[in-house]
Amino acid sequence: MKIILFFLASVTSLQLNAQLKTTPVCPPLVVDVLGGHINKLYPRSTLGEIQKALPCETEIVQADSAKCAGIFYKDKDLYFYPERNYFEIRENFKGKLSLAMGTGRSSLFQVLGNPKIKDVSWDAFQTVYGTLVLYYDGAGKINKMQISSKSTETLKLCD
């Protein structure tokens, strides 16, 4: 009889200590490429500010010799590198962009002017907030963007 009472008391106390945990939900993501922000998060935003505004990260990487520190939203194809003051938007980004992925390289002059640095597969544009680097696929369509608060001379990107 004592064993049964002990068992019932143990099960009851376990049930009282159980907690419901909710899954963090991110707000819809809106990128203003010309303004240099995502949901009013700027390249200079801290890790804490990013986590508070977008609590649904999939990975946080601490700095070491092999990787850059960052907070990643892999399911949204969005990557923040707060120590290097930039964020990266990749091809399968889940959200709204003011400059759409897949936009042709030849049509960017009207919106962004001439690039400050030009390469075969990317262009770096000086902006009011810093630098916008656009990468292109083989057809000359945007497939990745990096928005930084740094100038082209001081920009340090991760591999």
pLDDT value at residue 115: 96
Amino acid 74: pLDDT: 96
User: Vertex 150, ends 119 and 58: CA angle to 5°?
Assistant: 90
Q: Give the strand pairing for 78-81 and 30-32.
A: unpaired
Residue of 71, 48, 49, 57 whose CA lies nearest to 26: 57
pLDDT top residue among 10 and 40: 40
Sheet holding 142-148, edge to edge: 59-61, 70-73, 78-81, 86-90, 142-148, 131-136, 122-126, 117-118
When pLDDT is averaged across residues 9-35 and rounded to a whole number, the result is 76
What is the value of pTM for the model shown? 0.83
User: What mean pLDDT is reported for the chain?
Assistant: 89
The token pair that represents 89 in the structure block: 């938007």
CA dihedral 99, 94, 144, 146 (to 10 degrees): 80
> pLDDT by residue (tens digit) across 28-76?
999 999 999 999 999 999 999 999 999 999 999 987 767 789 999 999 9
The answer, yes or no, to whether residue 11 has pLDDT greater than 60, is no
**Would you list the domain boundaries of the chain?**
23-148
Give kind and range of the element (H or E) at residue 53: helix 47-53
In which residue are the tokens 């700095």 written?
63
Q: Is 25 left (phi over 0), alpha (psi -120 to 50) or beta?
A: beta
- Looking at residue 97, its pLDDT comes to 96
